[in-house]
Structure 1
Amino acid sequence: MSKQVYGKQAKRSSDVIKLPVLSWVLMAALILYLAWTPFQVALFNGQMLNFEKPIFWAAALACVILLIWIAKDHKSINLEGQRDWMAIWVLLLPITFVLSLFGAASHYLAMNMVIIQCTYAIMFIIGLFLLRDKLANKVIQIAIMTVAYIIVGFGLLNWFGQGTFAGKLVNWFSSGVLNGKYTDAVMSDSNGLRLTSVFQYANTYAAFLMAFLFATVFLLIRSKKWYGQAIHAFMLVPIILSVLLTLSRGGLVMLPVVFVLLLLFLKPVKQILWVVYIGIAGIASLLISSTVTELGLQLNTTYNGSEAAKGWGILLFASAVVALLGWVIQRFVAPLLERGLQAWSERKTSSLWIPVGSVIVVGAVAFLLIGTSARNILPENMSTRLENINFQQHSVLERITFYKDAMKVVQDYPVLGAGGGAWGALYEKYQNNPYISRQAHNFFLQYLVEVGIVGFVIFMAFLIYIFYKYIRHYITESEEERESHFLYLILVLSILLHSLLDFNMSYVFIGIIVYLGLGGMASVMENKSLRIQKLRFRGSGVSALYSLVLGICAIVVLFTSFRYIQASSASIEASELSQTSSSYEEIKAPLDKDLSLRKNHPDSVLLLSSLYQEVYSQNQSEEFYDAAYNVITEGLKDEPYNKYMINRLITLHQLKGEQEQAFDLLVANSENFNWDIEWYERIISQAHELGYAAHGMQDLTLRDKYFTAGIEAFNKIQSGLVHLATLPEGQLSGRAFANTPSMILNTGKMQLLLNQPAESIETFKLGLIEDLTDPTNREIARWYVAALMKQGLNDQAVLDRLIQIDPTETEQIEAIVQSIS
């Protein structure tokens, strides 16, 4: 389509979508607000209250933006072309999450995801219509890039030890500031300090930086003003340096992949400029990386103003040099390249040579930095990370395990999925080994788990269709039109490709950027008439009907968001009061308000039940016990895998002396927490205690029930240990999972009392150690010798060690033998 034709189309009322300036401001505010909201939608650890409320505010703000747009431009809507129908298609995405509520593993998390998916759909629809307008498109792009640059600066403030100052800048609107500093803007793990900025997770920050690195290069080349060129060129070094400081191997692996794919969309001249700018900025970043890394490590331990100033000076100088070079190249070199390579650029295959060459160069650089000592030019922590890039590295093996476990969930929830947040609720049931990961580290697999095959097919078709139509548009349009929305392709492609390896899309901020970007890509797709005549609709009636339906949905989401905001505020208030007040009525009031607004809100269910239980313990009033019991049992209907609720119900049964019911709950739920060694230990301990009591009452049937259940739990542990021994050498097993002295002792005793002396001997052997000074270890040895004696055997060495500590051990062992005879 020529520029002239596009200009004519832009004048048509159906294509010019002009939102009020207020909407643009609200869009920018929404992006800025969410950037400092460290929320992962699949958290499942009883600590979501501090994270959920900002998301509901964001959903409410998105609804307000949509309602303003409907009021202003509803007449511009028609359903005549393929592009228009994308506004219908996107509504199917939140609908699939609504359908998944029917079998949701956690109704609470699933409802949160419904609200979030509605927000994404709204952002797509706004982008689809809003970003057709040239001015609106420019404003939104500037807003996105401004927020990105602020995030980069914010991260570096924290890296240079100025976290308190950075915290003051955002404390007035961010929930992530704790004790004056933004939580984990520089995180620490086994690799040392890693830069995370607002994300609190280094790998997602690396994905964000990768996307905006390419966006910066694109805007640098596209910019016609000298100050625009200087600003974007200036930011290249801070962005690349920040990528290095994340120590993200996934980011370094995916960066060249995305780079080469994006080159395929460019003319040879711009491909050369992309390579040149990233090369110059990369070299400058590497030259200062060691010094900046060392300064950051020091300043995050002990702050020193002069050292921080030194770090900033080095960074700003390198950035200024690159900015100057960027301006010079754009001012003098780029025009020469354009003229000199014009003939070559017109050849059909000209755009392939540099990407192919880049693959070779990237491969060579990767070999040097990973396979040779050339990586020693990097700081030690970066060099170590690169050295460990291989397919046998533990993070790779762990991700493969997550993916296999995700497919186990899909097998049990194939059609509609297990609901939003299902992985966080279910992973302990399906995990291959005792890792802790409330994210599947793959957005697409996690999406499949949540909405099943039906929802996943709808989403993938939606995604593929947008890319297909955008690329077709890109091929046929003029260069100016190509560049007008290319930023959105860069952001969407970069983030989604990296999301194959990580959970970037679990950040609502990242999700909004992606869906807004998809809307931007769809806004320029060719609006061909639908082939099916019956699906072509236009006119005021169609506009009014679609606007009415969309408006009603927005109002429902807006109302629900406000209710959830109130509920969350009440729950937070109750939580804070429980720490400072001893008044039953004062604490209960906000809890009642929360649960009247949002039934079975997990944190409030647990706190209210605890409150009732505490009062019952004081006055023994059955009314309060029944209230505590009913609150928990009702909550478990929506949250059947919530370990905290299950444990509270077990405690309530024990409080009433209902040990059998408590034990049955432990056993019934053991399959949901297959690798929780503490859960097994509780089963074995209570099986021994209850079975021994039944043994004393001569109730052999009840004794056998408890003992058998305890022994089965122990055998599961042994099978698990055998399985863990088969894990690949580089894969970490995860949480502690091993036999403990108490479970060995109790299981061996139960086996002996069930007349299984041979089995008990093997069990006791697992707990035999040289040092018998510990009472539990000594009792294991005592029962081991007793079990041998019952078989007519002996272990004189163990017996001698026992007698050395206590000469009466022989009598104690004989007493045990007599008790089990």
Structure 2
Amino acid sequence: MSNPVYGKSAKPSSGIDPKNQISVTRWILVIGFILFLLWAPFQIALFNGQMLNFEQPIYWAVLISTLLMFLWIASYYKEIKLETQRDWLLVAVLLLPLTYVISLISAASHYLATNMVLIQCIYAVVFAIGVYILQSKQINHIIHLAILGISYVIVGFGLLNWLGGPNLAANLVGWFTSAVQDGKYIDAVMVDSNGPRLTSVFQYANTYAAFLMALLFASIFSLVRSNKWYGQLTHGFMLVPIIVSIMLTLSRTGLVLLPVVFVVLLLFLKPAKQILWIIYCLIAGAATVIVLNPITSAGLALHEQYSASTALNGWIYLIVASIAVAVLAWVIQSYAASRLTNGVQRWSDRKLSSLWIPIGSSIVAIIAALLLLFTSLKNILPDSIQVRLENINFNQHSVLERFTFYRDALKLLADYPIIGAGGGAWAALYETYQNNPYTSRQAHNFFMQYLVEVGILGFIIFMAFMIFIIWKYIRGYIRQSEQDRESHFLYFIITFSILVHSILDFNMSYAFIGMLVFLGFGGMAAVMDNKPLKKLSFKGAGIRYLYVGAVGILSIFVLFTSVRYLQSSYAAVDAQQVVQKSQDFNEIKTALDKDLSIRDTHPDSLLLMAEIYQQVYTQTQDEQYYNEAMAWINNGLEEEPYNKNMLKRKISLLQTKGENEQAFAIQEEKAANFAWDIDWYETLISQAFEYGYQALGNQDTAKKDEYFAAGLQAYQHVVEGIEHLKTLPEGQLQGRAFEITPAIALNAGKIQFMKNQSAESAATLKQGLTEDMNDPANQELARWYLASLQKAGQTDEQVYNQLIGIQPEADEQIDQLASLNF
């Protein structure tokens, strides 16, 4: 059945190969590429730092993509030229990993930065492959179907986890992914303060919402485009599951940006298509509203306890609604779309006719949002979604926290302006620049995070690359006939949707999402408005072989690196398992040597190696083991100077050796890197008192004053920090606890007491007191507090009576303390 809206392409668009002659090598490349896309979402989880379970899939992805690159070279080496704008994009994309290589010079974490170089290599491979294979009309059609098919599998996988089938879902994918633990896929349904939230393969609800937003529009586009009844039914059937999934993510960012992206995409369509898009959104949205409550309730109940009847009930609602929408979509496409096209044809021919419906849609969307937010209409939605909608405002904590992240990122950029602080810079450095004690290894803005990683230079290169492709694609899109525009619009939908959402979140930290975006760039570049570059045109076989040779050499190097890193990672995991089973030093060391002989600064193994050497030194007092442990830590800190665990291990080593002065110097010097880590400051203040008291006993007044001054300076930092937190905007959460702990109050108060600052000491000590006078630590605080008051000529009868009631001998102890004169 012919499609009355789009019709059949009259002629191939720019860049499309009309011959459709595909060699065996190219078929192997295409099949391998599709399998890679299917494998990736279940393997490439969020890359979030020093976690061995996350790095292995990344290295496997690098290895697979490199093998695909060799197939690409074998398939297209005769066609590679450097004559046109599209040709030179294959050179430009190599600059993206190169900027990450350059940023290694100033990388805050060599480990994270190296991994990001490899991830950028994956993106470059995906782009290069996409540019060439998507010039074939036949392959392009296959990739379209593959992207949608894989995406629908992800949606089904998520809903299977929501509606009572997490074990079944895990069994379906557990044979090829390490993301299954204890019989379930990790965080396919995450739980936070808002309750259960659907995430499917992403472990993060907001990123899943971004993916679903792109998929929703891609599905509607494919529904309208499809000429086959089974295609129309399939895409129509998936609309309700996609919208239901969006709602179950409880993502406010997704709900806010979805209508924005929708309106922008409408601008690219003729009025007939705009109306169809709106009709399908309204139909699927209405069906979703009808079934959302029972599906949400079923999922929440199943999360607590499995019930076959509850699960079946949820599936029935979902499937019936989906079938109803699918049938309606097929009927509309078959019988109403052609009449709609003819009915608005005269309107479509008018200038700026495509603007009126998006403008009207924007007004309707605003009205609908106001009704949902401020009237009883919101009662049709589940309670959890109502709460999320009510909290959509610029003063709620997630918005305020994002603004804080961005300001802190600019502070970081000011210190690393040109080439950035390397891949993973935010994760490595955010504690040094943060405004308050939040915990976030992601900046919640892809562009801001990219900027701090590669600096202004790398950011300009990426933005130029991205903007050039989108601009050239849109320019070509405008000039194409209506029939030709449909071939690659799917790639624009996916890329634009994800990038818009990534302004407010860290979706691109997922390698699979990054692959989709760069495949989208490749798809747009395949048919962009392409022009020859006369000044940069190099004809002849020589330049072709030069480019292919350079890419081939780089690919071999990346392949070798990925294999070595995989060996290292597996060895590290084996070493962790050996530690759990064995206490034998040589056996553990042998296991760690396998890893560290490949990557001598692999953080997890390096820390473990230093720890076992320290343990042996503690037992034997053999200097050789101490020196080995210190050598490993110093080596690691050269590459990871902001690694808190390595710094703590070095401090612990020095203290074990009795080098307390050096240990304290590191504790004090590095405190600025962890300005909101209350544990760090608690330890610093405690050690300042302890070492100062020892110096006092040794009659070393200068050292005593030095330690006491450092302790009081750290205490003042905590006091000022607490005052600063009071200035946070109302609604913004401060993050981790940052307060005067009993240990801080006790040790800072003791220091003030020994500096004959009795009134100040009493005020400080009082902050640490609790009601539990049975606690020995609280009793000590009370004794020093009462002694300080006595020395200042004051008293606290309530605390005194509580203490004496528990510890009668404390009266004499208080007098003894008060009689001390420093």
For the criterion TM > 0.5, the same-fold answer is: yes
- 1:5-51: CA deviation from partner (whole Å, max 9, x where unpaired): 7479756999999952111111111111110125223x23x4x1001
Q: Is the 8 A contact 2:743 2:768 kept in 1?
A: no
1:344 aligns with 2:386: no
Q: 1:426 to 1:416 in 2, by over 3 A?
A: same
CA distance in 1, matches of 2:406, 2:37: 31
CA distance in 2, matches of 1:401, 1:546: 44
Corresponding residue for residue 658 of structure 1: 659
Instruction: Please identify, of 77-86 and 349-358, the stretch whose mean Cα deviation from structure 2 is larger.
Output: 77-86
- 1:272-309: CA deviation from partner (whole Å, max 9, x where unpaired): 00000011001001100000011111112111122212
Q: Is the 8 A contact 1:161 1:300 kept in 2?
A: yes
Q: Which amino acid counterpart does residue 656 of structure 2 have in structure 1? A: L
Q: Which amino acid counterpart does residue 697 of structure 1 have in structure 2? A: N
Q: Which amino acid counterpart does residue 634 of structure 1 have in structure 2? A: N
Instruction: Please identify, of 749-758 and 476-485, the stretch whose mean Cα deviation from structure 2 is larger.
Output: 749-758
Q: Which amino acid counterpart does residue 636 of structure 2 have in structure 1? A: G
Corresponding residue for residue 554 of structure 2: 553
Of 316, 320, 328 in structure 2, the residue corresponding to residue 317 of structure 1 is 320
1:207 aligns with 2:213: no
Instruction: Please identify, of 109-118 and 808-817, the stretch whose mean Cα deviation from structure 2 is larger.
Output: 808-817
1:107 is displaced (CA, Å) by: 0.1
Instruction: Please identify, of 174-183 and 338-347, the stretch whose mean Cα deviation from structure 2 is larger.
Output: 338-347
SS at match of 1:534: coil
Q: Which amino acid counterpart does residue 237 of structure 2 have in structure 1? A: F
SS at match of 2:191: strand
1:71 aligns with 2:80: no
Structure 1 segment 243-322 matched on structure 2, within 5 A: 243-322=246-325
Q: 1:563 to 1:329 in 2, by over 3 A?
A: same
Q: Which amino acid counterpart does residue 641 of structure 1 have in structure 2? A: Y
CA distance in 2, matches of 1:292, 1:770: 48
CA distance in 1, matches of 2:202, 2:802: 57
1:799 is displaced (CA, Å) by: 3.8
Structure 1 segment 140-289 matched on structure 2, within 5 A: 140-289=143-292
1:510 is displaced (CA, Å) by: 0.2
Corresponding residue for residue 413 of structure 1: 416
Structure 1 segment 642-721 matched on structure 2, within 5 A: 642-721=643-722
CA distance in 2, matches of 1:17, 1:715: 72
CA distance in 2, matches of 1:612, 1:7: 66
Of 312, 331, 346 in structure 1, the residue corresponding to residue 334 of structure 2 is 331
Q: 1:760 to 1:23 in 2, by over 3 A?
A: same
1:804 is displaced (CA, Å) by: 4.2
1:651 is displaced (CA, Å) by: 1.2
Q: Is the 8 A contact 1:17 1:133 kept in 2?
A: no
SS at match of 2:347: helix
- 1:716-755: CA deviation from partner (whole Å, max 9, x where unpaired): 1000100111111101111111111121111111112123
1:174 is displaced (CA, Å) by: 1.0
Q: Is the 8 A contact 2:406 2:443 kept in 1?
A: yes
Q: Which amino acid counterpart does residue 721 of structure 1 have in structure 2? A: I
Q: Is the 8 A contact 1:786 1:813 kept in 2?
A: yes
CA distance in 2, matches of 1:301, 1:777: 40
- 1:454-486: CA deviation from partner (whole Å, max 9, x where unpaired): 001111111111111010000011223211000
SS at match of 1:193: strand
State the TM-score, normalizing by the size of structure 1: 0.97
Corresponding residue for residue 63 of structure 2: 60
Q: Which amino acid counterpart does residue 219 of structure 1 have in structure 2? A: S
SS at match of 1:187: strand
CA distance in 1, matches of 2:495, 2:633: 43
Of 135, 138, 157 in structure 2, the residue corresponding to residue 135 of structure 1 is 138
Q: 1:295 to 1:769 in 2, by over 3 A?
A: closer
CA distance in 1, matches of 2:202, 2:770: 47
Q: 1:389 to 1:33 in 2, by over 3 A?
A: same
1:4 is displaced (CA, Å) by: 6.8
CA distance in 2, matches of 1:565, 1:806: 61
1:601 aligns with 2:607: no
Q: 1:302 to 1:807 in 2, by over 3 A?
A: closer
Structure 1 segment 573-652 matched on structure 2, within 5 A: 573-652=574-653
Q: Is the 8 A contact 1:39 1:52 kept in 2?
A: no
Corresponding residue for residue 42 of structure 2: 36
- 1:341-398: CA deviation from partner (whole Å, max 9, x where unpaired): 1111111211001000000010011001112221111011111110111111011111
SS at match of 2:77: helix
Instruction: Please identify, of 743-752 and 760-769, the stretch whose mean Cα deviation from structure 2 is larger.
Output: 760-769
CA distance in 1, matches of 2:259, 2:130: 29
SS at match of 2:437: coil
CA distance in 2, matches of 1:521, 1:350: 25
Q: 1:194 to 1:132 in 2, by over 3 A?
A: same
CA distance in 2, matches of 1:601, 1:514: 30
- 1:392-450: CA deviation from partner (whole Å, max 9, x where unpaired): 10111111111111111001110100000010011111111111110000000000010
Q: Is the 8 A contact 1:14 1:76 kept in 2?
A: no
Q: Is the 8 A contact 2:16 2:137 kept in 1?
A: no
Corresponding residue for residue 388 of structure 1: 391
SS at match of 1:669: helix
Q: Is the 8 A contact 1:186 1:193 kept in 2?
A: yes
Corresponding residue for residue 543 of structure 1: 544
Q: Is the 8 A contact 1:423 1:450 kept in 2?
A: yes
Q: Is the 8 A contact 1:15 1:132 kept in 2?
A: no
Corresponding residue for residue 564 of structure 1: 565
- 1:698-726: CA deviation from partner (whole Å, max 9, x where unpaired): 11111111111111111110001001111
Corresponding residue for residue 737 of structure 2: 736
Q: Is the 8 A contact 1:17 1:130 kept in 2?
A: no
Structure 1 segment 74-113 matched on structure 2, within 5 A: 74-113=77-116
Q: 1:142 to 1:6 in 2, by over 3 A?
A: closer
Corresponding residue for residue 51 of structure 1: 54
1:399 aligns with 2:402: yes
1:769 is displaced (CA, Å) by: 5.0
Q: Which amino acid counterpart does residue 767 of structure 1 have in structure 2? A: G
1:542 is displaced (CA, Å) by: 1.5
1:176 is displaced (CA, Å) by: 0.7
SS at match of 1:728: coil
CA distance in 1, matches of 2:20, 2:333: 38
1:27 aligns with 2:30: no
Corresponding residue for residue 378 of structure 1: 381
- 1:85-128: CA deviation from partner (whole Å, max 9, x where unpaired): 11111111111000000000000000000000011011111111
Corresponding residue for residue 446 of structure 2: 443
Q: Which amino acid counterpart does residue 669 of structure 1 have in structure 2? A: K
Q: Which amino acid counterpart does residue 37 of structure 2 have in structure 1? A: I
Identical aligned pairs, as a percentage? 56
CA distance in 1, matches of 2:797, 2:79: 93
1:618 is displaced (CA, Å) by: 3.1
Q: Is the 8 A contact 2:14 2:527 kept in 1?
A: no
Q: Which amino acid counterpart does residue 668 of structure 1 have in structure 2? A: E
CA distance in 1, matches of 2:483, 2:244: 31
